């Protein structure tokens, strides 16, 4: 899923949770189209409320490849007003051209991110944080520990993972490596700019 669509889903997250009921055809359609696996469907259905089910779906979708967003739009046949709103917002959003993004000075790229910078970054990330820290060399066990140590706060989980990465790599934990892993996960370039402001 491209950065624009991930950002769009994140920006309308709460609205989608109140509007879309995933109990109906939405999940079945996404399963039929191969966007969701059997385990995804079970994970979503195991949630206790409709809102939690929708949140779980919104967490899974960005990780399901380039066709996920369009398939999600197609699945919203029972919710034409939601589909219309998503399509309009998608047209309004313009992803920054990489040429528009200001270059980061090489001296900054070689430094380690500060606690404050990691905190700002954590505020802008969603479920993709796990893939980012895996790119940086952390293991699934590390991610699990961060989640267990901070079970009710996503931002704290993300910060804990980045701090662990910085402790392990020391001077090698640079902003440049962080930027590279964000680019691999197609995170909008404005996120790193915001972190450095």
Does one domain contain both 81 and 34? yes
The reply to whether 110 falls in a domain is yes
Per-residue pLDDT tens over the stretch 116-133: 988 888 888 877 889 889
Distance of CA 109 to the CA centre of its chain: 23
CA distance 26 to 40: 13
Token readout for 60 is: 């899974």
Per-residue pLDDT tens over the stretch 35-72: 899 888 898 888 888 888 888 898 888 888 888 899 99
pLDDT for 94 equals 56
Q: Identify which has the larger pLDDT, 96 or 172.
A: 172
Does one domain contain both 72 and 130? no
The reply to whether 91 falls in a domain is yes
The reply to whether 100 falls in a domain is no
pLDDT for 99 equals 44
Which residue's structure tokens are 């609205």?
Answer: 15
End position of a domain, from candidates 40, 62, 95: 95
Question: What's the pLDDT band for 144 if we cut at 50, 70, 90?
Answer: very high
Q: What count of other Cβ atoms lies within 10 Å of the Cβ of residue 64?
A: 19
Does one domain contain both 77 and 130? no
Does one domain contain both 147 and 81? no
Q: Is the pLDDT of residue 140 over 60?
A: yes
pTM of the model: 0.51
Share the mean pLDDT of the chain: 84
CA distance 105 to 84: 42
Range of the domain at 123: 106-196
182: phi then psi, degrees, rounded to nearest 5: -65, -40
Report percent pLDDT > 90 for the chain.
Answer: 18
Residue 9, domain CATH: 1.10.533.10
Residue 50 vs residues 21, 108, 154: alpha-carbon distances, Å: 6, 45, 20
């Amino acid at each position: 899923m491209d950065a624009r669509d991930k950002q769009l889903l994140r920006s309308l997250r709460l609205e989608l949770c109140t509007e879309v009921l995933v109990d109906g055809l939405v999940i079945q359609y996404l399963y039929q189209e191969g966007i969701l696996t059997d385990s995804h469907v079970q994970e979503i259905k195991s949630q206790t409320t409709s809102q939690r089910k929708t949140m779980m779906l919104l967490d899974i979708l960005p990780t399901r490849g380039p066709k996920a967003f369009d398939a999600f739009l197609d699945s919203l046949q029972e919710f034409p007003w939601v589909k219309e709103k998503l399509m309009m917002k998608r047209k309004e959003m313009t992803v920054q051209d990489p040429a528009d993004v200001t270059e980061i000075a090489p001296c900054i790229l070689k430094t380690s991110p500060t606690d404050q910078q990691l905190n700002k970054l954590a505020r802008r990330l969603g479920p993709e944080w796990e893939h980012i820290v895996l790119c940086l060399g952390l293991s699934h066990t590390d991610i699990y520990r961060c989640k267990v140590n901070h079970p009710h706060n996503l931002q704290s989980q993300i910060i804990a993972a980045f701090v662990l990465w910085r402790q392990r790599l020391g001077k090698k934990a640079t902003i440049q490596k962080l930027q590279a892993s964000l680019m691999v996960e197609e995170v909008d370039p404005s996120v790193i700019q915001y972190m450095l402001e």
